[in-house]
Structure formats: C-alpha cells, structure tokens
Amino acid sequence: MKQARFLGIGALLALLGCAVATTGPNAGFIRDNAGPEGLGTVLGLVTRVDADPALQAFLSQCPTEVITSLPTSGSNTDCGLNPTSCYAECKAGDAAACFAAARSIERSDFKPRSDFTYPLFMAACKLGDANACTNAAATARNGTWITSAPAVATSPACQLETYQTACEAGSFWGCSMEGTEYRSRGEVALAKEAKAKSCKLAGKNQQWACND
C-alpha cells in the first residue's frame, strides 16, 4: 500500500472496492477531508448518505414531522466493520440499522459528522425508534456541522416537542433531554418532573439519567 499514499481519496476507495458518491452536496468535502479511519468503513457509508435524496430531505425537517408511531425506544444492532451493510438494511426499513449506522459514524474519527448522522437518526425516528428522534434533535443542536445546523430542527419549539414526544413513548433519554430543555428555559418544576420520569424509565443500568 506504499504507493496508495500518492493517490487521491477517490482512487484509494476504488482500490478498496468502495463506491464514491460524486453527486452529494458534500462530495467535495468528503474527498478532501476524509482520513484513514474512514477508508473501507464509515467513509463508504458517509458517501452513500450524502448522495441519498431521501435522507438529505430530512435535513429540512423536525423529528416530529416524520413520526408516525413510536413502538420502540432503543437499538441493539451493531454495524461492526461493515457500516454500509447497515445502510442497506436501513434503506430496507430497519430502524435499528439506521440508528446503528449513525452511531458507527459517531464512533469514528470522521468530523464534522452531523450532516450524515442526523439523516440516519431521522430515518430511524420515522421508522419508530423514539431514542433516534431524541438523538436527531440533540444532534441538530449540539452536533458538529460542515456549515450550519438545520434551522427547523434547532428551533426551541422543535426541540421541546421532540423530547416530549419521545418521553411519552417511553424513551428515558427523551425525558432526560426534555428536563434539560425545561431547565434551560427556567421552568424548574417541569424540569424536575421530566428528570424524575427519566430516572424511573432508565432502570438500574442507566442511573446517570437520574442526575439533575
């Protein structure tokens, strides 16, 4: 692989058997800034997300706009060393795979990453994962973005409504974020109520949710 260092990202990906998306809005950024961590793993996933019109459309929406039902509140899927397999399963309608694909990017060294994780969390949210709805809203406000975070998703109304909806669906993470949002508004009583519900839903393995 010594000769590979003289090749561009596109050529390196070709050597590794990865498809390179050239039509996505961030294709140039991906080619110019992707490091070795992404080669053959998350970079292939990132290029697919960037070139996927359905996923890109989520960037202009609040999580509450895509929620149809929230029967689940967690994901146990692990993409392992092949995140692109999770992308395929996500596109086939697997909420857990969408969530896991987003988490695989978060665990990588690829930054800024929120332009790619937000659409995946939104896909999982639309498919019924309440925690994914919470993650999408939290990513919108606190993530790392190539240019700027989506205005709709970062609005105070979207933030609170998303966390409320996720909490009502049984997501302790949603309740915790709801409490944080209330506290930022100075609504202490409502914040304590939401945090108490988060603690109750979290169980013994997630005691951090009980922290004020």
The average confidence (pLDDT) of the chain is: 82
Q: For residue 110, what pLDDT band results from cuts at 50, 70 and 90?
A: confident
- Smallest CA-to-CA distance from 164 within 186, 191, 126, 188 is with 191
* DSSP-assigned letter for residue 139: H
Query: Does residue 96 surpass a pLDDT of 70?
Result: yes
Phi and psi (nearest 5°) for 179? -60, -40
Higher pLDDT, 113 or 204: 113
Task: For 170-195, write each residue's pLDDT tens digit.
Answer: 889 999 999 999 999 999 999 999 99
- 207, two tokens: 């005691």
Is the pTM higher than 0.85? The answer reads no
- 118, two tokens: 């937000």
Weakest-pLDDT range from 11-20, 60-69, 187-196: 11-20
Domain ranges of the chain: 2-153, 171-212
Q: What is the pLDDT of residue 19?
A: 45
Rounded CA gap, 21 and 77, in Å? 25
Coil, helix or strand at residue 105: helix
Chain-centroid distance, C-alpha 11: 28
